[in-house]
Structure 1
């Protein structure tokens, strides 16, 4: 498959005289590295897509795709060089020069890495920013799409909608997330119960390995193709593009939402949801958002806890529990299913909105159904500083357990936290946990996502979310306590910054994400990247 080369506005050539790096090895200096890139580049002058701190646009280029503002601070380590390739040969050049000068590389697509690992490192590093390589080629007859690694979900969904009103891709919900990062970690969304994950719907892929070779599915082999579909592709190479299988959706779908508070029996309804949602027909998906709100005051995200008696402040808050979902059909069919299976929710016609599929995509990405689908092309919406964690649940949490969870949520001010429950079941139960590295399949009732804003008192925010995570320990999966790799969490453990990382050390976090699939991932890594060129704090290590 040939991809068009994106044009780039003229950028001033990078300065060749740069300050020396404090590194002991003189070959590690930015000046030597930049000269290596320029000398080694071929057809397209790489100097036109290089950015160093001497460039006036360096800061804006770096910040554009930082979506977790916790890593956009003066003290956050910065790349010595940013490269925004416009063709694949420039990526090969970056790999060559990084290896020659022993400099680590980070690979950024959409920039949604929860721990900033796609654009931050604690050692000297180069940032490979894939934003210029983001073409989307949809074939509505074959129901496939070739998508370059720099594209976002919004760009993919928009292009699909331009070609068909009855095709979709089972990717994530948030439109600014990168297709490549999402897919390489599994990637769930509203179609998960009908069609599985994004990684379950990949037909082919193209990547550049540590030796600079461009490989497709056939030439890379099935082991590597398996590893990059859920095991975190940045451990194995630079993804160039994915060939995705598109799936059928009806022209009209139903979106619904029901909100209840603690005073409106929300705990009891949520307790029942745990057993019902994973068993519903595949055409129905349900998520739950549980958040602290003010009972009588305006619920603005900027609202903070008042400095008065804490008991009085607690009395002004409650928990909002929103049951949010969609149905691949019209409201009449949904109401029939819900009245039979989940009458406790009390879903009625007024809670349902009948829309086209692309309108539902807009609504779940915080647009309105009336907005133009072109809004999905915005790559920079809603940036905040945050810390997040995840858990999987295989047995319903008791009412008392939910009560305890809500008490901890009530400790935080409205607008500061977010807690989501996402039901699994359906197609997710039918796929083997070893089919891809993503192992959270049959028996998983739902995924929990928890987040806290870290602006303001960062230390207190971190203490709060870690306390919440400790509280949940007896209520979630065990041996290992499972976590979702796309919600990566360095609290689980990290690799050594330099030198080798033992299999035992990496297993501390690796089994949380991948369970027994971690062993196969290590074997693949040892085969395709034995020198561990593609590395970061939670990359798959080779056997050492």
Structure 2
């Protein structure tokens, strides 16, 4: 730990002790009055506002968090500039009202706009802060946190068709949340995670100051690039752009169990992480014993067919499976499987999740040793051979998405960013189950049983001690902070309790994140059920 950070930690201990020892005189009314003095009233939506529910629902992606039992914010602030975020932080700290920050609403536990326990909090919704400025002279771009990944992709490619950025597949994800957890995507084997390509950021800290990389220091800059988003409000990010060819190559090849899907999948585990970095082949394991192999290749179809024939002949991919298209078109293809999807669709911020009433639950794992074919046969026969439950498909749908690592990811030290799942990882697993609510109070019991039993079974085949998980696939089942994550005056209690989830997301980086948190947010103002708790250095 550098001397400057150690000094900050030492000073933070005393400021934290004094603040938490002072009784709070906060009230929600005074907080709202403070906001209205500092921020135009049209940008603040209190619970009594006629359009409060509309604004709250605008980017909720999981309708199970929009029920009568959901703990909702006192208000939603929709800032139009940095000064409005600064005001929200200042009013929130003055009147002891917490803030939750939302950019796209894809967080799987809804912690950017709801609380698990009753508490006073407000949402800072960054959707209006969505500008993208591309600088061709140094191949960088500044992107606001409220922009979606689709908007970022579109702006970059329209500015220069052979320029791109490595980030996730889903275009409606908000940049702020995606980058705060690392940012896996289909180009990470060539160019790394999103945060591996972030070179600067602008952040509003607990004191309401706007900081850039130089003024925030390297420790905080390290923490915001994948540490889970509890160190302040990141307004915008400066990213390094990457070059892509005029045309890339893609394919979707489905194989059923009767076509040796399990054998091909078993072989894929060894092949996919060792392929050239330009080629990513991921797998979607779906109902009715089907495995869909999806590829993005930063090259030509001719070269892709030759590479697959040489490295992965078991799949049987041919030239007829390959489609050439621009990189921007490949983003739409990855989502829809339709080569004719217009690129303008990437600008649609809405997924229509609330209108579908389809509830979702996600979990994640990392695999470091290939799973035997016999185990995959067991998985397919027990979990992917029929509809979930007994409702003829009405009780839910299950999915496993397997995303390969290797390539560039294996060259980056685990401590380079908070995202530690680097060398030795074969692939990440995302488990997804969805169900349609049949009646009020429907908890999707059949779907949750399906997911829980599969996840428990997979425990013996995935990484252990810790059983690694991806923070952007946030899962409160693996642990959450107590009402006061501080634990005691030096933060040890909160830190130790947080290990249950913290070491699974961040492994050896969890301690450093907690020390940075103590230096920059000693009273733990920016907190939620899985925020980094502060850990103070012991005094000599």
Length, aligned pairs only: 490
Inter-partner Cα distance in structure 2 for 1:232 and 1:49? 26
Q: TM-score, normalised by structure 2?
A: 0.88
1:210 touches 1:533 (CA, 8 Å); kept in 2? yes
1:267 touches 1:403 (CA, 8 Å); kept in 2? yes
Task: Please tell me whether residue 462 in structure 1 is matched to residue 448 in structure 2.
Answer: yes
Post-superposition Cα deviations, 1:170-226, rounded to whole Å, max 9, x if no partner, equal 011100001111111111111111001001000100000011111000000000000
Correspondence for 1:373 among 324, 343, 353: 343
Inter-partner Cα distance in structure 2 for 1:243 and 1:225? 12
**SS of residue in 1 equivalent to 2:26:** helix
Correspondence for 2:155 among 156, 159, 172: 159
1:70 touches 1:454 (CA, 8 Å); kept in 2? no
Quote the RMSD (CA, aligned, Å). Answer: 1.5
**Aligned position for 1:386:** 360
**Aligned position for 2:527:** 535
Inter-partner Cα distance in structure 2 for 1:454 and 1:53? 29
The offset of 1:388, in angstroms, is: 0.3
**SS of residue in 1 equivalent to 2:33:** helix
The offset of 1:25, in angstroms, is: 7.3
Inter-partner Cα distance in structure 1 for 2:385 and 2:220? 45
Inter-partner Cα distance in structure 2 for 1:38 and 1:75? 28
**Aligned position for 1:175:** 171
**SS of residue in 1 equivalent to 2:267:** helix
Mean Cα deviation higher: 401-410 or 174-183: 401-410
1:252 touches 1:355 (CA, 8 Å); kept in 2? yes
**Aligned position for 1:497:** 483
Post-superposition Cα deviations, 1:227-246, rounded to whole Å, max 9, x if no partner, equal 0111112x100001000000
Correspondence for 2:263 among 263, 268, 271: 268
**SS of residue in 1 equivalent to 2:336:** coil
Task: Please tell me whether residue 356 in structure 1 is matched to residue 302 in structure 2.
Answer: no
Mean Cα deviation higher: 116-125 or 472-481: 116-125
**Aligned position for 2:370:** 396
**Aligned position for 1:226:** 222
Inter-partner Cα distance in structure 1 for 2:70 and 2:184? 30
Correspondence for 2:30 among 32, 41, 46: 32
Equivalence map 1:156-305=2 (5 Å) = 156-233=152-229, 235-292=230-287
**SS of residue in 2 equivalent to 1:385:** strand
**SS of residue in 2 equivalent to 1:389:** strand
**Aligned position for 1:93:** 87
Task: Please tell me whether residue 408 in structure 1 is matched to residue 383 in structure 2.
Answer: yes
The offset of 1:367, in angstroms, is: 6.9
Correspondence for 1:340 among 297, 300, 310: 310
Post-superposition Cα deviations, 1:83-109, rounded to whole Å, max 9, x if no partner, equal 101111111111111111111111000
1:85 touches 1:130 (CA, 8 Å); kept in 2? yes
The offset of 1:70, in angstroms, is: 1.6
**Aligned position for 1:10:** none
The offset of 1:369, in angstroms, is: 3.1
Mean Cα deviation higher: 380-389 or 512-521: 380-389
Q: 5+ residue gaps in structure 1?
A: 1-23, 293-317
The offset of 1:69, in angstroms, is: 1.5
**SS of residue in 1 equivalent to 2:436:** coil
The offset of 1:382, in angstroms, is: 5.1
**SS of residue in 2 equivalent to 1:132:** coil
**Aligned position for 2:501:** 509
**Aligned position for 2:142:** 146
2:360 touches 2:435 (CA, 8 Å); kept in 1? yes
Inter-partner Cα distance in structure 2 for 1:371 and 1:507? 44
The offset of 1:27, in angstroms, is: 2.9
**Aligned position for 1:103:** 97
Post-superposition Cα deviations, 1:153-186, rounded to whole Å, max 9, x if no partner, equal 0110110121111000001110000111111111
